[in-house]
Chains A and B, each alone.
Chain A
Amino acid sequence: MILWLTLIACAVVPLAWWGRRLAQDPLAYFAASRGAGPFLAGMAGTAAGLSAFVFIGGPGLFASIGVASLWLILSAPLTGALQCLAVGEPIVDLTRKHHCITIPDILAARFGEGWPRGLAALVICIGGITTLGVQIKGSTLLGQAFLDVPGWMVATVAVAVTTIYTSAGGMRIGLHAEAAQGVIMAVAALVLTASVLMAVGGPAQAAEIIQRVRPEFLQALPPGRGSHYLSLFLLFALGTCAQPHYLQKFLMLKDRRSLRWLPAVSTAALLSVLTVWIGLGLGGTALWLGGEINPPFPDLLTPTLLSKFAGPVLLPIATVAVLAAIMSTAASLLNMVAAAVTRDLPLAFGRKPFPTLGPARAATIGAAACAGLIAIQAKHTVALLGILGWSMFTAGLLPVIVLGLRWPSASRKGAIIALIAGPLVQIALEISNIATHSRGRWEPGLTGAAVGGILLVLFSRKNGRSA
């Protein structure tokens, strides 16, 4: 495995060199020179959106709570089209008109400079670094139990490689790398799913084993928790419309027509990769309950499964796929945090953005270091950390992106208040959940978004349109 990691580390040098040659201006560095068609944007968007959360946290969640975990992915067939419909089309229109290259650029174009841009940049920094922490923690788990090398080594290689090529070439190189990683993830997921389900005797056999040992794992909505799981369904259905690493891809489209087949590409890729959640979750849980494997805790279901059932061919495929998942998400988030720090925050304070790409490259490295610290300190599971980062984006950006961009009367004041209130409500609920050691009835991200949405409508109605 150390050989594989060394090969990946060596491959980054020509990639970074090529990227540095291609990315010479902010449009290339942050928006991939706006040259993406539906395939490139769809595969890259899916790869960026899917991460260690899907390969490690997803099957782990299935092993913790059973089939109810599928509520998190039941919205997957809707999200590609919903994104394009609700936010992709207005973002592409604003991009063509105002030449936007970041998500805060879009909000500044719609609601005016200053606070809207600055608050959106802040949400992206906090949510982005938290989500990056998930990727790094996922890497450590992967190394400890799956690759038979120290976790810190895998995490260091994955993050260092991603940081080097993203820092050098930004999204000009990151977009192509993510698209390639998306293809690898989709193919590998299908192969892994088929292998594990064959090992357990097929999906029907797996379901029978679970039904015999833990029938409560096959309840669609566990008693007393129905509202919670439906909330997660809605969080992941609507939340995708507010995830900046998805939305970023709309800024890279070469024309409006590219939107037409984008949902078909992204949905096909998404569903292919999500077979891991169902296949490894179902098959792995059956093998666990049948006594054939014994992972120490649910997050280690995938590594345990692969170390037992993956042969010399399958193990490298799985390794590359999981590393690709981690690296693709990390690349987009690093680039967005760098844009927020070096472009959007200075513009929000009335200053000019840095004229060269040097500070953006340095900010990319700084963001990776901050995320590493979070991963070291984090005590939550990968799945919970993933939801935390997702919730921050949902609470902060969903009202202003989904309602604000479409509604002509949405005002600057309403948008600013929504951008402040949503994350505050979400953070307060997260702190309350941590203090009480439970996930309360109020899903933090959606509750924050709901409060933000109400305030956006109320203050816009009261003050009229000001942008």
Chain B
Amino acid sequence: MYKILKKRDLNPVITLMEVDAPRMAASAKPGQFLIVRAHEKGERIPLTICDFDSKKGTVTIVTQVVGASSRQICYLNEGDSFTDFVGPLGEPSEFVHMTREKLSGMRFLFIAGGLGTAPVYPQVKFLHSMGASVDVIIGAKSSSLLIFEEEMKAVCDNLYICTDDGTAGRKGLVTEVMKELLEADRQQKENQHYKCYDHAVAIGPMIMMKFVTLAAKPFGIPLTVSLNTLMVDGTGMCGACRVTVGGKSRFACVEGPEFDAYQVDFEEAMRRQTMYRSIETEADHNCKLGLH
């Protein structure tokens, strides 16, 4: 059993849990995800890995209540256990395989939407520890739904906050902030003393990632997205997670979850996310990677 060692409500609908899972804590890398089951009759629910500590043997997850299955997770308390907790799953982020020497000369831009802030955190933390320069844009509906602001500040160079209602940071969408930063970058292209972004990563609701992709494309910056598709086993067995990337059908669970944003068929991916929505009155699969 996988005991919940620490539980903290980040706000009324988002809960953070630190779970005892030594094997996973020792092997997890930024970009990967896990699958939990809250009880014996529960669904297998993919969630992003928000943090891991191999010394303590713990893995941290963040869940937002949006339906029946996520509520079951959030109802668990400190001292309770998950019936199942399996991972890490998926491929780590590409930069995990780069050397410190290479990374220390690189500049990254992260675009995090809502609960997508959670999986962005371990990536930024990793890059920071490797000496890379990292800017982060966090977008949320409202200030009450902002998470990981302080933690992120500690590991990034510049943090930009925006909310739909203007209750925190700037009022507006992440795409606007991103476009401004990329535009500023473009202005400085000739400036030898200025370091432009080498790579951008967007993680959030599928619709946000789609619009970030459209907005980033004219700037020609490499962009990675992390796809929160439907999954059952999460190990390549079922194929529920298939997405069209570069005209080819790929399995997000084993070949992803991260893909080159410009190659992803977002319309299809969004449509496929709704496959079981008509049956499930409550459980909303958008939450399955904790991203909505």
Chain A complexes with chain B: no
Q: Interface on B for A, CB 8 Å cutoff?
A: none
Q: Interface on A for B, CB 8 Å cutoff?
A: none
